[in-house]
Every structure is written in structure tokens, then in C-alpha cells.
Structure 1
Amino acid sequence: MAHNLAQCRVLVQKAAAIKAKALFLPEASDYVASSPIETISLAKSVTDSPFVLGLQDEAKKHKLAINVGVHEPAQGGKKVKNTLLWIDAEGKITQRYQKLHLFDVDIEGGPKLKESDSVERGNEIVPPFETAVGRLRFPEPSLRLHRQHAQLLTYPSAFTVPTGRAHWSTLLRARAIETQCYVLAAAQSGRHNEKRVSYGHSMIVGPDVYPEI
């Protein structure tokens, strides 16, 4: 987590240097563990997580809002929450979203991953909220969010490589077409451990469906 925080600090500094108004980081930016047991053992509350506290300090120092995915302990200690945080330019956590749709997949010859074994499902859809870059809403479900006048949809992700190759770009472009919103998708990339590799390919897709980045 110390290494990941150091990497994120560099990204914050680069974003601040070009006068960005917000930085969008991926799902599970604090860590990607090699087992459900390790996932649970590493989780810390946002009030005492060095990773989150470090990002709050960076946000305040650089006057830069940060959208970041982290793990939090769930009640009972048997699972974690997969949480997306909005840290405002004052370094305060002002919005949070707990992942609703968990990733359970078993593909023959491909990935086998059951997120629900270690992650507690969220149960709330929070309405869009105002930011310096537009009216933002966390990921699910996009059409309902569009009806609530969301302008930006953010999909912080850690996609597996086979599902990423098959679905990543198509899903993001479909959400942009359906909602006529901008879609911001920050994605983990590369090998995390002996079991997990992420697809990457972060992108921003505009309502005209062509990737901006």
C-alpha cells in the first residue's frame, strides 16, 4: 500500500502541474490481494488508512479533487466493502459509493473469481452530486443516473484480461451512447501478484462515443 500511495502521489503532482480540476484513480487503488483472506486482513477504515489519509493530504495540498477506489472493513470482519470515494479539493471525503454489482465469474480456460466471497454488496444508489468538472455519479445503473441529470459516469475498474479484451471498450461506449454522458474509466493495469493481472486501457469516452484518451 505504501508503494501504491507513492505512485498515486506522483499522479496527483502531475495532475496538479497541468492544472487539472480532478484526478480519477482506479478501483482497488490501495491494493489487489492474492486471496480473499489477504483482502480482508489488509482492509482499514478510511479514518486510519495511511493510503486514504495520504491522498487526503495530497488533495488538500494541491487543491485537487480525487476519485479513488479502496477497501474498507465490513461489519463482522468476514468481508470488506469495495468503496469509491470522492475526496474534495479541501481533502475531505464528501461522497462514497459501495459497489453494487460484484464480479463473480468462472470461465473455462479463463479467469475464476468470486468477488462475493470476500466483498459485501452495496445497497444504495446515491444521487448525482456537483463537482468542478460536472455533475458526477458513481457507476450503477447508468440509465437511472442519466434520468437524474448526471453528466459524468465514472467506472474505476480492475478488469481481468480475458473479460477486458471481450467487453471493456464495448461496455464503456455503450454507456456513453445510452446516456449521452461522458464516461471516465480509470483502470488497473499489469500484474498484481501470481494470481491477478489487470487489463488496463483507461479511457474517457464522450457522448459521441469516440475515446478522448
Structure 2
Amino acid sequence: MTLAAVGQICSTDSMVHNLAQCRILIQKAAATGAQALFLPEASDYIASSPSETISLARSVSESEFVRGIQDEVRKFKLPVHVGIHEPAQDEKVKNTLIWIDEGGRIQHRYQKIHLFDVDIKGGPVLKESRSVEKGMSMPLPFHTPVGRVGPTICFDLRFPEIGLALRRKNAEIITFPSAFTIPTGQAHWEILIRARAIETQSYVIAAAQVGPHNEKRSSYGHSMIVSPWGEILAELDKVGGEPQIATANIDLGLLHKVRSEMPLLRRNDLYAEV
């Protein structure tokens, strides 16, 4: 059994501010004895316009945010999973998730494949495709101190196919670092996370942005860790104040028990593989 930590912050357009928040979370997670910390999508910054999103992007080698996280990881020997932006072609950015090992090295990365374009009547209008380049490769699970992690990002949560594909590749933990809007979060966040855990019989770790990022945008929060049985093991709901973490034990024995006692044997001879 291992201990995982999930974080919750409110990123702004100031990478100095955002790095300070993440440093607090790394220190808090290390103090609990956690063996990995999972941070939200876009931890480096959330901008107020597509043009600002593009102008703030830095390569990992030039990003003071990424270098700062790497320094803190090395200091505490605590691996971190964190969402960032990277420059892309055609005046766009990549929405990327990176795994930094305990030595501060970037060992794995995933570029978001499902982009969030939404126009809710009376609610937010967000067009991620205006400034973000969609990923063209499926994520691959990788080994970590808390289990075999399958990375995804935010809007990927609405597509069960990606979680099921990761399960077929032997993922034990599926991550959904996010920045859900308040209306969509209130309606769908918990339901979707628990559904992905139940249908894949995997742990789900969903680190969330929370609160007002600028005058135009606020996020729902409610970072959580869910068991392969769909039980919420840890959840954060506070808005404002100091950045928070929650922790939960990852019991791979329980995971294998759930999978062996209730095998999900699909009939792909009768319907297409999802």
C-alpha cells in the first residue's frame, strides 16, 4: 500500500505566484509521507485570452515554473505529475502533462487530445482550439512509486474510450488533472470521475483548479481520489485561502481483488471495442 497526494490551486497569469503555490503543495505532500503528488491542469498559468495563453508559453528548458518544480522535487525527493503549457506551431500551445521523477527529471509527457470548446447559454464560452494544438498520440501508462499511471487531461474525462484503452494497457491509476468550469463541474464532475473509476476498475486521481483565475474565468475545484470500486477516498472543496492537498492510500491488492471478483468480459464479437 502506498500514499498518493492530490493538490488543488488557483493559477493566474503569474507563473511566480503559481510556482509559489505548487511549492507549498510539494512541501505539504512530503510532510505527509506521500510517495507522489498530482497537480492540476495548467498549473503553470491560466491566462485571460488566447493571445496571452500563447505569449506566456515556454519550453520546459526555459520555463522558470518547470525548473522551480524540478528543484523542489529534488529537494524533497517527491515525484510530481503536473500540467503545463508548451509552445507549438501555428501560433498555438500544447496542453501538456509531465511526470517529474524524484531526481527532478522529466520522464514522461502527454499532450491533451480532446480540446474543450463550449458555449453554454448564460454561462462560460471557452474555445480551447483557438490557442491549443490537439495531441495526436494516445497516452501510454508508466510505472510510478504508487502504481502504473495512465495520464489524461480534463476534457478527456468525457470520453470513456481513453480510460478503457489505458486499462487495456494495464493502467492501475488514471489521472484527470483539470480546470472544470463551475457549471459543468456542478453537473458532471463527480459523476464522470466515479464512472471512469468503476468502468475501468482503476484508481482515479483528479487534481483540480479552483476559484477565480481572472475576471472571466473560475474553476470548480473538488480535487479527488476515487477507488476502483467508485468510492471517494479523498476530496477537497474549499475555495480560496492557502493551496490544499488531500491524501489516500493506493491499495493495488484491492484493485486486483475488484478486477478478479468482477471481471468485465466484453463481447467484442457482438459490438465494437470502445
Superposition pairs of residues 13-24 of structure 1, within 5 angstroms: 13-24=27-38
Q: Could you tell me which residue of structure 2 aligns to residue 7 of structure 1?
A: 21
Q: 1:178 aligns with which of 186, 193, 199?
A: 199
Q: Could you tell me which residue of structure 1 aligns to residue 148 of structure 2?
A: 135
More relative contact order, 1 or 2 (CA 8 Å, 6+ apart): 2
Q: Could you tell me which residue of structure 2 aligns to residue 57 of structure 1?
A: 71
The answer on 1:164 being equivalent to 2:177 is no
What does the per-residue CA deviation read over 1:102-148, in whole Å, with 9 as the maximum and x for residues that have no partner? Answer: 00001111111110000000011132111000000112500011011
C-alpha displacement at 1:210, in angstroms?
Answer: 1.3
Listed as ranges, the gaps of 5+ residues in structure 2 are: 1-14, 157-161, 235-274
For 1:18, the aligned partner's letter is T
Listed as ranges, the gaps of 5+ residues in structure 1 are: none
Q: TM-score, normalised by structure 1?
A: 0.98
The answer (yes or no) to whether the contact 2:142–2:149 under 8 Å persists in 1 is: yes
The answer on 1:109 being equivalent to 2:130 is no
The answer (yes or no) to whether the contact 2:172–2:203 under 8 Å persists in 1 is: yes
Q: TM-score, normalised by structure 2?
A: 0.76
**Runs of at least 4 residues off by over 2 Å:** none
For 1:109, the aligned partner's letter is G
**Same amino acid, percent of matched pairs:** 66
Question: Which structure has the bigger radius of gyration?
Answer: 2
Q: Could you tell me which residue of structure 2 aligns to residue 69 of structure 1?
A: 83
Separation (CA, whole Å) in 1 of partners of 2:118 and 2:100 = 31
Separation (CA, whole Å) in 2 of partners of 1:26 and 1:81 = 15
Separation (CA, whole Å) in 1 of partners of 2:194 and 2:31 = 29
The answer (yes or no) to whether the contact 2:139–2:166 under 8 Å persists in 1 is: no
Q: Could you tell me which residue of structure 2 aligns to residue 145 of structure 1?
A: 166
Separation (CA, whole Å) in 2 of partners of 1:144 and 1:38 = 34
Q: Figure out how many residues of one structure are paired with residues of the other and give that number.
A: 212
C-alpha displacement at 1:75, in angstroms?
Answer: 2.1
